[in-house]
Amino acid sequence: MRDRTYAADVEPGESVTVAGWAHEIRDLGGIAFLILRDGSGRIQVKFAKEDLDASLVETGTNVTRESVVSVVGEAEAEDRAPTGVEIVPEEVEVLASAEPELPLDPSGKVDAELPTRLDNRSLDLRREEAKAVFEIRAEALRAIREFFREVGATEITTPKIVATGTEGGTELFPITYFGQEAFMNQSPQLFKQLMVASGLERVCEIGPIFRAEEHNTPRHLNEATSIDFESAFITHHEAMDVCEGTLRAAYDAVATNCGAELETLGFEAEGFALPDEGFPRLTYEEAIERANATGELTEQLVWGDDLTTDAEHALGDAIDGHYFVTDWPSDIKPFYIQDYDDDPEVSKGFDLMHPRMELVSGGQREHRYEPLVEGFEAQGLDPEAFDYYTRMFRYGMPPHAGWAYGAERLVTTMVGLANIREAVLFPRDRQRLSP
């Protein structure tokens, strides 16, 4: 719209055209107010009924909430207005009327259940709280991309339709590809490993992944956004350094650039960034010992057990922050994670944990052809089905390491969302395919 002024930019003494949604109408008898909302904020439009044309007043005060409205008028200072300025209208046009009965209240005065919000997502994102989540998400991803470039990573895009799954045949969505069986990709893992053997060496990707998991919990999704990193000639310890760096970059950027959004969600920008101290790094053995010692577990962990949800929470409460768990049992980690040569029962895999949930999975990769094939066979996978992947390991695969984490889990833990679906515009789970 030509010559449109955003609500936040309206200054007294200006002739302006504003456009947005009818957020609220207050009729006090001889005077009425229309609160108009756009992407920058809200502006008050004053209708002094005796001073204005009756048809203009009728148009501006009888409009239904959430209708799209354009207002042309003079901006005047008014201390009692929400922003210290109001508009005296000369023209009011209803560009699109909204039905009187809305499926949810964008003002936030009446709460709506999450399913109702997801069924009406565009309307839901007119709420300040919902909009703030996605502004924060966008800023976090921008900062992560910038950090990747600072550490020399090249952003790539890998296939999302594949012939075989990264971890084998489980948790896959099958599709038909010109008469052939194919699958939606679980992870860019194998492709990004192939890239570190190319001239790129250090790569990153932020893109969709698909998991046909049966979980139906507040922290699982069937379509998610994965933040991936892989680099040649680094160790798993150096990979953890890069991983921690991305989180710090994200938190710093949100603290610096999303003060209003944080305030909307009940946070203060000051002190929002992560503490200066590096994330603690516990070996798997230390982690289960500490979890058992908390006395909060329903059942004691033994070597070879995965960390249970209550163990994660117990450790998170004890550490009170992000922490890495390293040196996992080899049997728990995928075939492509390298084991220690002097202790093949222990892998060079790691996870980054938030007190609420696991965030990151990564590790040193097995770059030697023979041990890699043996790893396939040990986990019951057919190496020939992955020939496009294993072939490159015969042509000079460098030592490498990497990791991945979900953007949704990052945002969920960052701003304390109750359900991971709140961090996705249109979430996919077992019950939800549309919208």
Res 385: pLDDT? 79
73 or 3, higher pLDDT:
73
Helix (H, G, I), strand (E, B), or coil: what is residue 168? coil
Domain ranges of the chain: 7-96, 122-279+321-423
- The strand pair at 202-210 and 154-155 is best described as parallel
Can you identify the CATH homologous superfamily of domain 122-279+321-423?
Answer: Bira Bifunctional Protein; Domain 2 (3.30.930.10)
pLDDT over 90, % of the chain: 85
The reported pTM is: 0.94
Confidence of residue 88 (pLDDT cuts 50, 70, 90): very high
41 has pLDDT over 60:
yes
In b/e form, how buried is each residue of 396-419, taking b as 16+ CB within 10 angstroms? ebebbbbbbbbbbbbbbbbbebee
Q: What is the pLDDT of residues 296-308, one digit of tens each?
A: 998 999 999 999 9
Average pLDDT of span 89-101:
96
Confidence of residue 170 (pLDDT cuts 50, 70, 90): low
Confidence of residue 43 (pLDDT cuts 50, 70, 90): very high
Q: What is the pLDDT of residues 327-366, one digit of tens each?
A: 999 999 988 999 999 999 999 999 999 999 999 999 999 9
pLDDT over 70, % of the chain: 98
Which active-site residues does the annotation give?
211, 213, 219-220, 358, 361, 409
Res 39: pLDDT? 92
Whether residue 397 contacts residue 197, with contact meaning beta carbons closer than 8 Å, is answered with yes
Phi first, then psi: give them for residue 382, nearest 5 degrees: -90, 110
Q: Which helix (H) or strand (E) holds 263?
A: helix 259-264
Q: Which CATH architecture has domain 7-96?
A: Beta Barrel (2.40)
Distance CA 71, CA 25 (A): 14
Cis bond before residue 435 (omega within 30° of 0)? yes
106 has pLDDT over 60:
yes
87 has pLDDT over 90:
yes
Distance CA 88, CA 107 (A): 24
Whether residue 228 contacts residue 188, with contact meaning beta carbons closer than 8 Å, is answered with yes
Q: In what order do the strands lie in the sheet with 358-364?
A: 154-155, 202-210, 223-232, 400-406, 358-364, 349-353, 323-326, 281-283
The alpha helices in 16-167, defined as continuous H runs, are 54-61, 114-119, 121-124, 128-150
Distance CA 105, CA 92 (A): 24
Res 376: pLDDT? 81
